[in-house]
């Protein structure tokens, strides 16, 4: 009787291990699939990006950095669509890219305004010099 029991154990052992491995693989695969689908919407990143786009517009980005502003606005729209489709990884990536495009547009606008202010100041100095020269004559 003992030999029969041992044969049964020996015969069942590989099958039991194989079944255990299959169950473990199934559980692991299911958890990975669920983890990929169960992401959270990047609402915080989306809000930060909207704020960055609004700041860039206020800084004059549409006038002084039109290409960067267009890219930021387009990517923000794409991020919104991705969020609606529950493609949260894509939405986050697009929102981050849009944020950086907006920040570049804002900086370019600020730099262009500063350059214009410098030019205006130089022209003012030049006008004063000319005015001073006329007074001397």
pLDDT digits (tens, 9 = 90+) for 16-35: 555 554 555 545 454 444 44
Handedness of CA 59, 62, 109, 44 (dihedral sign): positive
**Domain range for residue 74?**
46-110
Task: Please check whether residue 10 lies inside any domain of the structure.
Answer: no
The mean pLDDT of 100-107, rounded to a whole number, is: 97
Residue 60: exposure state from Cβ atoms within 10 A (0-12, 13-18, ≥19): middle
**Does the residue 72 lie in any domain?**
yes
Q: What mean pLDDT, rounded, does the chain reach?
A: 82
Question: What pTM value is reported for the model?
Answer: 0.64
Q: In this structure, is residue 16 part of a structural domain?
A: no
- 79 domain-assigned: yes
Question: What does the block give as tokens for 128?
Answer: 């004063």
Confidence of residue 126 (pLDDT cuts 50, 70, 90): very high
Out of 9-13, 32-36, 52-56, least confident range: 32-36
The count of other CB atoms within 10 Å of the CB of residue 94 is: 25
**What is the domain count for the chain?**
1
| Distance, CA of 105 to CA of 67 (rounded, Å) | 8
Identify whether 120 is part of a domain: no
Longest dimension (CA), the chain: 130
Residue 23 domain-assigned? Answer: no
CA distances from 57 to 54, 65, 79, 106 (A): 5, 10, 19, 7
DSSP code for 38: S
The pLDDT of residue 134 is 81
Look at residue 55 in the predicted model and tell me its pLDDT. 95
52, part of any domain: yes
Residue 74 maps to a domain: yes
């Amino acid at each position: 009787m003992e030999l029969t029991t041992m044969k049964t154990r020996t015969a069942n052992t590989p099958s039991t291990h194989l079944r255990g491995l299959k169950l473990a693989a199934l559980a692991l695969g299911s958890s990975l699939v669920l983890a990929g689908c169960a992401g959270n919407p990047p609402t915080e990143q989306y809000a930060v990006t909207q704020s960055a786009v609004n700041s860039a517009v206020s800084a004059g980005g549409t006038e002084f950095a039109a290409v960067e502003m267009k890219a930021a606005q387009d990517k923000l729209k794409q991020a919104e669509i991705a969020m609606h489709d529950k493609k949260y990884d894509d939405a986050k990536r697009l929102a981050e890219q849009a944020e950086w495009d907006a920040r570049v547009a804002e900086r370019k606008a600020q730099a262009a305004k500063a350059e214009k202010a410098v030019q205006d100041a130089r022209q003012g100095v030049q006008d004063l010099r000319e005015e001073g020269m006329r007074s001397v004559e």
